[in-house]
Structure formats: structure tokens, C-alpha cells
Amino acid sequence: MNNGAKIKPGSTMERVNANLAKRYAKERRFRRMGLAAIVISLMFLGLLFGSIISKGYGAFWQTYIQLEIHFEPEDMDLHGNRSLEVLSAVDYGGLVKRTLREMFPKVKKRKEKRKLYGVVSNGAAFQLREMVMNHPDLIGRTVQVWVPADDDVDMLIKGHIDRHKPESERRVKDQQIAWVDELQRVGKIEKRFNTTFFTAGDSREPELAGIHGALMGSIFTLLITLGLSFPMGVAAAIYLEEFAPTNRFTDFIEININNLAAVPSIVFGLLGLAVFINFFGLPRSIPLVGGLVLTLMTLPTIIIASRAALKSVPPSIREAALGIGASRMQTVFHHVLPQALPGMLTGAIIGMAQALGETAPLLMIGMVAFIVDIPANMMDPATALPVQIYLWADSPERAFMERTSAAIMVLLAFLISMNMLAVLLRKKFEKRW
Amino acid sequence: MQFNTQVVSPVTPLMVCTDIELIAAHDNRKTVGKISVTNPRMRCRNVNVFYGDKQAINRVNLDIGRHEVIAMIGPSGCGKSTFLRCLNRMNDTIDSCRVTGEILLDDQDIYDKKLDVVPLRAQVGMVFQKPNPFPKSIYENVAYGPRIHGLVSSKSDLDVVVESSLCRAGLWDEVKDRLDQPGTGLSGGQQQRLCIARTIAVGPEVILMDEPCSALDPIATAKIEGLIDELREEYTIAIVTHSMQQAARVSQRTAYFHLGDLIEVGETNQIFTNPQHKLTEDYITGRFG
């Protein structure tokens, strides 16, 4: 600007130049503030992810103990009868206990035996039962089976239990530590990938608890929410934006939609309880009711976003279509809607993400129950991922802490994949120039 | 939508200095010139347009003849676009807009309550100020109208309609190899000709053009003007323009609007060489507006 040329004192140029440094400094300050904001948010995000992953990754591994089981027909009280009924009634827990006693023959006292049995998870008996039911030919043979260790042993192996604390302050006793060390020495303890976590429902035993039930509950709930709230929200937005006359009534509706978007979610839960469960008599704890409640909650978000998307379509497109004799509906569906769809999808993503993370309204309609079975459809009792996280976070066992973080990771992964799908869909629609 | 430009302001800034004398001198805003033609395509009688409480058009009477190009000129905000948009009821899209009076298209009152605007707009097509092709392919842009009106029965018929429309709009040679490309990727002038092709593909009787060249460069403008001249053979064209040269070049009759009043109508030659009304004379000689 002032490349060598002499500037007259008092001229406009001089005054502009005097201000210039100040203006640029202001700009730099603003840029730095923005950058600082981003850095701080990234730091928090990193902290969040770091803490969740560092706490939760352990849950994907589970300690297993190798047992050498003799499926002796006499021990199993079979007496030649091999029907499934009899096979299912066998005392497999006794079989596990017998095997443990054989591994550590020195253990004689009742109290000590109890401690010994506590090294292996209760789930071992169920595992053996399932094995025998599926393969009755195992009877009479000796099989090496990896069974899950108890959650306290798991925590000990993972180093979450301090061996140097006095025995009374530990959940794992000195004797148990000795047995575990012995098993480890002979290679009969191993950490394996925790498939149970992804295939099982909830359980009181951390080593048997899984996320599958809650995940299915969330999927069913969200399917209902998406299936109801997206078409309804888009239809409402199209009507209000393109067809409805502007009068007091539509103004009133608009104000109320905006207000509903700000209503605390637990209120929707109470509404769902009163209307769907008490009035319509739908069962408690089912994804159908959860989906209906979350639909009520997400509708305002989707309507507002869809209306904004419709508003942003240039009016010239509408005029062009009307000008060659398209009816209003043809104008909307052939020209306006394709242009607005990406924006509507964005609104739907925000609404769905909100619904996925919602806990409070689900508590009100009973989706907070302890449910072991994996729901097979939307009428089966279920919990949802955030509720499962809430339940596990409340549990006293140390191993549940790990699983809480792992469940959060699953929730985040679900959320991210859902968003990615939506982004892909949006890209696909946007590609049409 | 078109609200902004069409509202009549009682005093437009350009007129501030001369306004008082002008109004004193020309209190009489009665239309000068011959408003009617024999066997008109459209006949407008006592047309008033209101936006809310504001009157944008005041008792306009005007005939639009067959196979003629009628130009509507006047300063900004004089109501010429508003009047044009009455002719195919595009003003219906504005909630606060109210039209009274009588507009006949071939003896059919287009503001009749029973009349359906969809066939009306197929008969009276419109080309807008800003080229507004659909965000679809060139082919789809032209094919859309015939398709929704069910004018063609087969794909090959549609191809014929698309080709002939693009030919008549003088665009065929430029786009025949890229019909599947987006219409929005064309240049401004090509886009406007595409919009004209889209309009004539429906086979209208009247084409309304609202400043079709205001966003175009002189070369594209010349092409469109040539096109208007050719289209006159088959269609009736009403064109709003800010360029008096353009009005003189393309039209047979010219109507001069001023603050919602139709001031003067007549043969284009006569309007530009020998205007009868003082306001018309002031406008075309560049004293204001």
C-alpha cells in the first residue's frame, strides 16, 4: 500500500494507515481466540476418549482357566439314559468343583474349598452343560475346556487388584492368589478375546455380562424412532412450510414446536408412561414404547431442521416449476424436496443421535429393568445402551467399571457408524448437482 | 417472493427533485393511446393489484394481440412486473397479494374461481429475470413440462419434443452432445435459452418474459432478442424490460407504466418517436427513471 510513495500528512491514506495496525491486531486476536477454542475442545475430546479407552479396552479381554474335565457317566448320574432332559439336569457345577478339587488335592477344609470354587466363574457350569447338550458324544471322554475365570481373578490378572494390601482389604484372598499363580505357572490361565461381551445379555456376574441385549434394544428403539419421526417430521415440515396459510393457528403451532424442542426429555418419559402404558395398556420395558417416546422427543428437532432446509431452497426453483404449470405438490416433490433432503437428513441425524443417547425418558417407561434375555423383537423387554451404561456404572464390582467404559465405546461406535451412514446418504443425494 | 421490487413507493428517490412539478403538471394519469386491438389474445380490464394495503396496480386496461410482442417499460417499482405476473396468476404464490378486475385469455376469465391455474400456466408460460433452470440435466429441464402435463406418450416422442424445443430456443447445436449434463452448468445466456426452451416445450400460447436479459451480457442478449423475434411467429409475447433500446428492437407495441398506472400504450415506433404523454416523454428521453 505504502510502497515507498510519500504520504501527505493529514491525508486519508495517512489516517487509514494509522488504523491499519490496530485493525490487523484485532483480526489476529480474533483468529487466535478461535484457534484456542478449537485446541481446548480437542483437548477435552482427547481427554474423554483417552480416559474411556484406557479404562475400557481391558473389558475386551477376559481371563480364562483351563480345566481338564472327565465326563464320566457315573459322576454325571446318567445310568444309561441320554435324553436331553436328563442331560440338562446333570449337576455340571459339581463336575467343575470335582475337577478343581482334583487339580488342587491339598485343599481339604470346607472354607478353603469354597475359596477354590470361587476362582472359576459360575458360568463354567452353563458352558459345560451347553457343550454336552450339543455334543452328547463327549460323555465318557476327557476334554480340556477353557472356562471364564471369576471377575475378581480377572481383575487380579489385569493388575487392578493390589496384592500388597492386607488380605482383609482385598476381594481375592492370599490362598486364591497362590492358586492363580500356580495355574499361571503351568500355563492354565490365559487372557482371551471376550466374545461373551458381544454375545450375551446383562448378568449379575461381570464375566458373563454382555452388551448384546442392550444393543439390540437400542437398535429396535431407534428403528421405531426413525421410522416414525422422520416421515412424520418431514411431512409436518412440508405442510407447514409449503402449504399451510400463515395465520394465528399456524403461528401457534410453530411456537409450540419450538417450545417442545426445549422440553426436558424426562417429561416425554412421563408422558409416554401416562399415555402409552397407562392409557393404551402397552407392556412396560419394551422397545416399541421406548421408540414412541423418543419419537415424541425427536419430532420437534426434525421438524425445525426440515423447515430450515425447505426455507433454504431458492424460491426461483419453485417459480420455475409453477411457471410451467406444475401443481404445488409436483413443485414440492419434484424440485423442492430433493434440494432440501440433505438438510433434512442432517436434522434427522441430530435427532437420532439425541435419541440414541437418551436415558431419562427410558427410565420412566421401565427400560431400566435388569433383562438377561436378548430381545428378539420390539415387543420383548429390553434396555438400551445408555441405560445399560447407567446400570453398570452403578454396580459395585470392579470389573463392571471396565465394562461400563467398554459399553460407552460400543455406544460411540454405534453413533459414529450411524452418522457415517447418514453422511454417505447425504453425499449421495447431494451428488445430483 | 417478488415483493421487494414490486411495492409501489410513493416517491422514488430518483424523482425527488422533479416530483412536485411533474405531479402538478400531470395530475391526469389517464391512459393515453389505443389500449384495445381487434381479436386480442388477452384482454385486461380494470385490473387492480394490492399487496396488503398498498396498491401496486391501479385500474389498468390493456389488450395483448395475437402474434405480437408487447413491451412493458417504466421506472423501477412502477408495477410492470406485477402486472405481467397477473397474466398467468403467478401472484397467487404471494399471500398478501390481491387482484381485482378482469383478465381474459381467449374470452375465458383467468381469475374465475373455478379456473384451474395448472392448465392456465401451461397456456401462459413464463421466463424469469434470473435464469432458473432446475438442478437436473438439460434433457430433464426441457422434458419436465411435457411429462407432467402428459403431452407425450413415449420416450421417442419426448425426445422429439426436447429436440424441437431446444432447436427453437437456438440451443440445440450447443448442447446436443451433453443433454445429460446439469442445466446449471451452462453459461448465463445458455441457461436463459434453456429456460425459454423449457417454456415452449409445453406449447404455450402466450410467453411472459420478466426482464429476461437483465442478467446477461450483450452477446447473449442479442441472441435472446433474435429468438424473441422468431418466436413471435407462433406465440404471443409480453416482455418487461428496463432497456428502452431492447423494447424498441423487439416489440411491436409498447406500454409505459408509471407508479402503478398505465400511462401510455401504442405502436412502439410512435411511443419512441412521438410520445403523447409528458411522463412518457420524460422517461424515454432520460429525464428520470
CA distance B265 to B83: 14
As a whole number, mean pLDDT of residues B160-172 equals 90
Q: Quick one: residue A79, left, alpha or beta (phi over 0 = left, psi -120 to 50 = alpha)?
A: left
**Phi and psi torsions of B103, nearest 5°:** -125, 120
Q: Identify the closest residue of chain A to B134 by CA–CA distance.
A: A317
pLDDT reading at B15 higher than 50: no
pLDDT of residue B4: 44
Contact list, A325 vs chain B (CB under 8 Å)? 118-122, 125, 145, 148-149, 202
Q: Is A317's CB within 8 Å of B195's CB?
A: no
pLDDT reading at B27 higher than 90: no
Q: Are strands A189-193 and B124-127 parallel, antiparallel or unpaired?
A: unpaired
pLDDT reading at B207 higher than 90: yes
CA distance A343 to A97: 62
- Whole-prediction pTM: 0.82
pLDDT of residue A3: 55
Contacts of A80 (CB under 8 A, 6+ apart): A73
pLDDT of residue A432: 57
Please check whether residue B52 touches A, CB under 8 A. no
As a whole number, mean pLDDT of residues A99-121 equals 89
Secondary structure string (H, E, C) spanning A177-199: HHHHHHHHHCCCEEEEECCHHHH
For the ranges A298-312, A418-432, B15-29, the maximum mean pLDDT occurs at A298-312
Q: Is A324's CB within 8 Å of B121's CB?
A: yes
Contact list, A333 vs chain B (CB under 8 Å)? none
Q: Identify the closest residue of chain A to B196 by CA–CA distance.
A: A324
CA distance B137 to B158: 15
**Phi and psi torsions of B41, nearest 5°:** -80, -45
CA distance B189 to B227: 12
Please check whether residue B126 touches A, CB under 8 A. yes
CA distance A26 to A28: 5
- Supply the DSSP string of A151-183, one letter for each residue: HHHHHHHTT-S-TTS-GGG-SS-HHHHHHHHHH
CA distance B198 to B214: 19
**Could you read off the pLDDT of A226-244 as tens digits, one per residue?**
999 999 999 999 999 999 8
Would you place residue B2 in the very low, low, confident or very high pLDDT band (cuts 50, 70, 90)? very low
Contact A407, A214 (CB under 8 A): yes
| Bridge partners of residue A63, in order along the sequence | A191
* Sheet arrangement for strand B108-109: B54-64, B42-51, B97-105, B108-109
Q: Is A320's CB within 8 Å of B148's CB?
A: no
Q: How far separated are the first and last CA of chain A, in Å rounded?
A: 42
Q: Is B128's CB within 8 Å of A323's CB?
A: yes
A327-341, A407-421, B29-43, B125-139: which has the minimum mean pLDDT?
B29-43
Q: Is B134's CB within 8 Å of A317's CB?
A: yes
Would you place residue B34 in the very low, low, confident or very high pLDDT band (cuts 50, 70, 90)? confident
Please check whether residue A329 touches B, CB under 8 A. no
Task: State percent of chain A over pLDDT 70.
Answer: 97
**Could you read off the pLDDT of A367-405 as tens digits, one per residue?**
888 989 999 998 999 999 999 999 999 998 889 999 999
**Could you read off the pLDDT of A258-299 as tens digits, one per residue?**
999 999 999 999 999 999 999 999 999 999 999 999 999 999
pLDDT of residue A337: 92
* Sheet arrangement for strand B206-210: B124-127, B206-210, B236-240, B69-73, B253-258, B261-267
Q: Is B133's CB within 8 Å of A324's CB?
A: no
Distances (CA, A) of B91 to A244, A247, B177: 17, 19, 38
Would you place residue A433 in the very low, low, confident or very high pLDDT band (cuts 50, 70, 90)? low
Contacts of A344 (CB under 8 A, 6+ apart): A234, A237, A302, A305, A306, A309
Please check whether residue A335 touches B, CB under 8 A. yes
Q: Are strands B54-64 and B236-240 parallel, antiparallel or unpaired?
A: unpaired
As a whole number, mean pLDDT of residues B43-48 equals 91
Q: Which of residues 131-160 of B touch A (CB under 8 A)?
A: 132-136, 144-145, 148-149
- Helix, strand, coil % in chain B, rounded to nearest 5: 40, 25, 40
- By CB atoms closer than 10 A (0-12, 13-18, 19+), residue B177 is exposed
Local structure of B195: helix, strand or coil:
helix
Distances (CA, A) of B69 to A75, B197, B207, B254, B256: 107, 18, 10, 9, 14
ipTM of this complex prediction, to 2 decimal places: 0.82
Describe the crossing of helices A337-356 and A398-430 by its angle, rounded to 10 degrees: 180
Closest CA to A179 of A259, A88, A267, A65: A65
CB pairs under 8 A between A and B: 73
pLDDT of residue A5: 62
Q: Identify the closest residue of chain A to B204 by CA–CA distance.
A: A324
Query: Of B142, B144, B206, which to mutate for an interface test with A (greatest number of A Cβ within 10 Å)?
Result: B144
CA distance A285 to A392: 18
Describe the crossing of helices B188-201 and B218-231 by its angle, rounded to 10 degrees: 20
Of the candidates A317, A318, A322, the beta carbon closest to that of B121 is on A322
Closest CA to A175 of A166, A167, A186: A167
Residue ranges, CATH 1.10.3720.10, chain A: 212-429
Grid cell in block for residue A280: 393404551
Q: Is A323's CB within 8 Å of B136's CB?
A: no
Annotation: CATH topology of A212-429:
MetI-like fold (1.10.3720)
Would you place residue A431 in the very low, low, confident or very high pLDDT band (cuts 50, 70, 90)? low
Q: Which of the two residues, A35 and B152, has the higher pLDDT score?
A: A35
**Phi and psi torsions of B23, nearest 5°:** -65, -35
CA distance A119 to A65: 9
